[in-house]
Amino acid sequence: MSIEYATRQLPVVVIGAGPVGLAAAAHLAGHGVPPLVLEAGAAAGAAIGNWRHVRLFSSWRDNVDPVAGRLLDTAGWAAPDPIHRPTGAELIEEYLLPLAKLPVLADRIRYHARVDGITRLGLDRTRGAGRATAPFAVRLADGTEHLGRAVVDASGTWHNPNHLGGEGLPAIGETSAAAYLDFALPDVLGADRAAHAGRHTVVVGAGHSAANTLLDLVELAAQQPGTRITWAVRRTGVDPVFAPGDADALPARGAIGTRLRQLIDDGRITLETGFVTHRVTVPVDVTGPAVRLSTRDGRTVVADRVVVATGFRANHRIGAELRLDVDPVLGTSRGLATLLDPDLPRSWSAPRHGVAELRHPEPGYFVVGIKSYGRASAFLMATGYRQVCQVAAQLAGATAATGRRGATHRFRWPPAWRAERLLPAGRVQ
């Protein structure tokens, strides 16, 4: 038996059991290619559990992968109302957990399986002979190893947030002030209420994670006197957050910008623009607000709590022994980086791309989902579903365009609902 033949009999290792990772497994199974899903958490959608209280911008219809939906439908799934916008908790409980429990996938998922590194069996990245036919060796944190014919990394970016410091490095004192910092999307109306009610919170960041937290804080302020809110952004203006308002293809997303503009005009949120945090100071004797944020030019904001909603970045450490071609600016594949120019005006929809833009020099290795976007924003869940559709087809030797070999039926909502206007999918986070 040749090494190449033996490698083809191995599963495709999928890292992560979130929406895109499970969709990848569903597409692979539909092509007759066995997946092996490695999930660091205790259940499917573990990372989403950190923002389970947040409602997505888009409806159910935009957040169910068609092939995964078809598998669920065949199993008698009670499909949710397609025009309802789910929370993170609903996404987990009504979609991801039922999907992960399907017989075609359940035995192919390993939980508490944190990937520590990936290499080629018997090779490091300096050795090229026989590389294309050697299986991948995926090592877990507990020392277990799994072999695969290919690897699809859908591990996401949740556990790798950007720093509070505005120049790419942690702010001076950021580590020491960790007890006063919340990273993206704290549940200020629920589990984290006590830390913010009646206090002054500064939210740092200009994305939609910041915007969601600001709106929740405004609601908290209406319930709890003394609650104050400051919004600190690095930009000299926040028009990219406000735009495009009513013109947004996702009305719920556009409404956030419109609402924030009004709240600032009404004085319910204090806006600090051009604020690049350089230093964080926590006084030894705390008799008032505990955290001081300072810029290089001496501007300061003093608060009780800081929400660091500065986005996330891709961490390619687990692929350090693979031959990757990572864009030095965005941390994406080179091909995808050409579509995500950070100097262009903010995009409100994800650029369409195929397998070619996802390729690295390492054959059979693909980064998909929000991790594929590196430091770029505006990732759409539908983008991840399109990515894994094409990757799975290629790994199966088929083409996504023809769907000849291993074709699967697309999931369709009941006829009474299909007439509703189809919107782009919402952010995963």
Residue 352 is predicted with a pLDDT of 82
**Cβ neighbours for 308, distance < 8 A, ≥ 6 positions apart:** 161, 162, 163, 164, 181, 182, 183, 184, 204, 205
Give the domain ranges of the chain: 3-159+312-418, 178-308
Over residues 374-385, mean pLDDT:
87
Checking if the pLDDT of 206 tops 80, the result is: yes
Contact 340, 234 (CB under 8 A): no
Q: Does the pLDDT at position 409 exceed 50?
A: no
Of the two residues 198 and 423, the one the predictor is more confident about is 198
What is the DSSP track for 319-330?
A: GTTS---B-TTT
Determine the pLDDT at residue 426.
Answer: 36
Q: Taken in order 253, 254, 255, 260, is the CA torsion positive or negative?
A: positive
Does 405 have pLDDT greater than 50? no
Q: At what angle do helices 251-265 and 208-223 cross, to 10 degrees?
A: 50
- What per-residue confidence (pLDDT) applies to 345? 47
170: pLDDT strictly greater than 90: yes
- Residue pair 147/12 in contact (Cβ under 8 Å)? The answer is no
CB–CB of 326/333 below 8 Å? Answer: yes
Residue percentage of the chain with pLDDT more than 70? 84
**pLDDT at position 394, please?**
95
Q: Place 236 in a pLDDT band, splitting at 50, 70 and 90.
A: confident
Judged against a pLDDT cut of 90, whether residue 142 lies above it is answered with: yes
Instruction: Write down the pLDDT at residue 286.
Output: 59
The pLDDT value recorded for residue 243 is: 59
Distances in Å between the Cα of 369 and the Cα atoms of 46, 76, 244 are 15, 28, 25
Q: What is the pLDDT of residue 157?
A: 96
Report how far residue 425's alpha carbon sits from residue 417's, in angstroms, rounded to the nearest whole number. 17
**Closest CA relative to residue 26, chosen from 63, 69, 62, 61:** 69
Q: Are 381 and 62 in contact (CB under 8 A)?
A: yes
Q: How far apart (Å, rounded) are the C-alpha atoms in residues 350 and 197?
A: 37
Buried b / exposed e over 185-206, threshold 16 CB at 10 Å, is bbbbeeebeeebbebbbbbbbb
Cα separation of 415 and 236, whole Å? 48
Q: Which fold has domain 3-159+312-418?
A: FAD/NAD(P)-binding domain (3.50.50)
With 80 as the cut, is the pLDDT of residue 247 above it?
no
Largest Cα span, the chain: 74
Q: How far is CA 59 from CA 205, 350, 352, 388, in A?
A: 25, 17, 21, 21
pLDDT tens-place string over residues 297-309: 999 999 999 999 9
What is the band of 251 on the pLDDT scale with cuts at 50, 70, 90? low
Residue pointed to by tokens 């944020």: 293
pLDDT at site 239: 65
The per-residue pLDDT for 406 is 41
* Position 116 pLDDT exceeds 90: yes
Of the CATH numbers 3.40.50.740, 3.50.50.60, 3.40.50.720, 3.10.350.10, which one belongs to the domain with range 178-308?
3.50.50.60
Evaluate if residue 295 carries a pLDDT over 70.
yes
> Is the predicted pLDDT of residue 284 greater than 80, yes or no?
no
Whole-number mean pLDDT of the chain? 87
pLDDT for 156: 96
Amino acid 8: pLDDT: 78
pLDDT given at position 240: 57
Sheet holding 291-294, edge to edge: 279-281, 291-294, 300-303
pLDDT computed for residue 376 by the predictor: 86
- CA gap 31, 15 in Å, rounded: 19
Contact 277, 204 (CB under 8 A): yes
What's the rounded Cα separation, in Å, for the pair 156 and 161? 11
Pairwise CA distance, residues 28 & 135, whole Å: 18
Token pair belonging to 401: 């365009």
**Higher-scoring residue by pLDDT: 249, 123:** 123
Q: What is the pTM of this model?
A: 0.88
Q: What is the pLDDT of residues 301-347, one digit of tens each?
A: 999 999 999 999 999 999 999 999 999 999 999 999 988 866 554 44
Q: What value does the mean pLDDT take over residues 74-93?
A: 95
Residue 249: pLDDT above 80? Answer: no
424: preceding bond cis by omega (within 30 degrees):
no
pLDDT of 5 > 80? The answer is: no
Q: How far is CA 365 from CA 4, 180, 369, 396, in A?
A: 16, 39, 14, 14
Q: What does the alpha-carbon distance between residue 120 and residue 147 come to, in Å, rounded to a whole number?
A: 9
Same CATH topology for 3-159+312-418 and 178-308: the answer is yes
Q: Is a pLDDT exceeding 50 seen at residue 136?
A: yes
- Among 303, 258, 280, smallest CA distance to 169 is for 280
Q: What is the dihedral of CA 26, 28, 312, 305, to 10 degrees?
A: 20
Average pLDDT over residues 213-228: 97
Q: What is the mean pLDDT of residues 27-35?
A: 96
Q: How far apart are CA 412 and CA 150, in angstroms?
A: 30
pLDDT digits (tens, 9 = 90+) for 37-47: 999 999 999 99
pLDDT on residue 244: 57
- pLDDT number for residue 338: 87
Q: Which residue has the higher pLDDT, 58 or 242?
A: 58
The more confident residue out of 119 and 243 is: 119
